[in-house]
Amino acid sequence: MSARVAVQRYALVGAWIAVIVLFCVLRPDTFATTSNVQNILGSQAVLLVLTLGLLLPLTTGDFDLSIASVLSLSSMVLALLNGEQGWALLPAMGVALAAGLAVGVFNGACVVLLGLDSFIVTLGSGTFVAGVVTWISDSRTVTGLSPQLSEWVINNRILGVSLIFYYGLALVIALWYVLTYTAVGRRLLFVGRGRSVARLSGLRVGPLRWSALAGSAFIAALAGILYAGTTGGADPSSGQSFLLPAFAAAFLGATAVTPGRFNAWGAFIAVYFLVTGITGLQLLGVDNFVQQLFYGGALVLAVALSQIVRRRAAGREAVAA
């Protein structure tokens, strides 16, 4: 591996380490503590899972703007069935996952069968689902979830870190393996690089795009269940705060580890790089609005950097060919 390639792959890791060192020096009594590290790792697992789901349609060249609403739908369905209707936890979780998957299947049908743009479809379906969540919840926060869910999400810990972090890490490893080493992952990538070429090569472009959108919604529903476990309930608008950070982390992650590609390890690094910066700034006494500024600026910068990296990668491939 050349020095230039190594810099491209691990520049974000270096920036993350630099941010950690900076805030450890500035706030050693609050930032450089075991409890702060444990809190950072555990508190962002929901965002990590949601970002990982987003990688699937992005790999095929599609957008899914409905993921935040699917998260809200899943958590609300679970809270209503388990917390208010008295359903057992596992059947309620199954219905919540099925509800999220149904949204993804609908999105895929509109995109593939009707030929509609994924950006418009998922924007519309996300808005519709947000309305459904508000309707079924009667615009109120629903609590009373079984404490078993919280036990297996945040209360039980390994090395002081909540289990939810390890669930997210397991999903990172699984998605990394699928996108890197399986035929399905290579096909999704091929579709994203050029649908016409992929179609001429014999790939079933439509079903691949459809499955990516369905998978994205399913993982978003899983994130909703985890979110419900962290809060013990569900709020109708809880998911909306995750949309911008998820896109920022996905695009920023595409500049790391495997530059030019949306990848699981890059997303993992990006999520925790962003939250480390925000946490450090908050400990310095910066106002809460810094979170919106940080994520918004990171998204614009990440999209610009990822496009530059992808163009360079495509240029190298063209020269090699």
Element (H, E) at 233: strand 233-234
Q: Which CATH number fits domain 3-315: 1.20.58, 3.40.50, 1.10.3470, 1.10.150?
A: 1.10.3470
- Kindly state the average pLDDT of the residues 223-249: 90
Per-residue model confidence as pLDDT tens digits over 152-198: 999 899 989 999 999 999 999 999 999 999 999 999 999 988 888 88
Q: What is the pLDDT of residue 66?
A: 95
Asked if residue 224 has pLDDT above 90, the reply is yes
**Neighbouring residues of 83: CB distance < 8 A, sequence distance ≥ 6:** 142, 143, 144, 145, 146, 233
Pairing relationship of beta strands 157-158 and 161-162 according to DSSP bridges: antiparallel
**pLDDT band for position 311 (cuts 50, 70, 90):** low
Burial of 158 (0-12, 13-18, 19+ CB in 10 A): exposed
Distance CA 74, CA 172 (A): 21
- Answer whether 223's CB lies under 8 Å from 167's CB: no
Distance CA 185, CA 292 (A): 33
Residue type, position 41, single letter? L
Q: What is the pLDDT of residue 321?
A: 47
Q: Is 290 helix (H, G, I), strand (E, B) or coil?
A: helix
Asked if residue 300 has pLDDT above 50, the reply is yes
**pLDDT band for position 306 (cuts 50, 70, 90):** low
Asked if residue 7 has pLDDT above 70, the reply is no
- Answer whether 216's CB lies under 8 Å from 56's CB: yes
Per-residue model confidence as pLDDT tens digits over 75-94: 999 999 998 898 999 999 99
Asked if residue 42 has pLDDT above 50, the reply is yes
Q: What is the pLDDT of residue 15?
A: 82
Residue type, position 209, single letter? R
Asked if residue 221 has pLDDT above 60, the reply is yes
Burial of 45 (0-12, 13-18, 19+ CB in 10 A): buried
Pairing relationship of beta strands 233-234 and 142-143 according to DSSP bridges: antiparallel
Of residues 31 and 108, which shows the higher confidence score?
A: 108
Task: Please report, for the chain, the start and end positions of each structural domain, with discontinuous segments joined by +.
Answer: 3-315
Whole-model pTM over 0.85: yes
**pLDDT band for position 320 (cuts 50, 70, 90):** very low
Mean pLDDT of the chain: 88
Phi and psi at residue 178, to the nearest 5°? -65, -50
- Answer whether 239's CB lies under 8 Å from 70's CB: yes
Asked if residue 299 has pLDDT above 80, the reply is no
Element (H, E) at 133: helix 118-137
Distance CA 127, CA 59 (A): 23
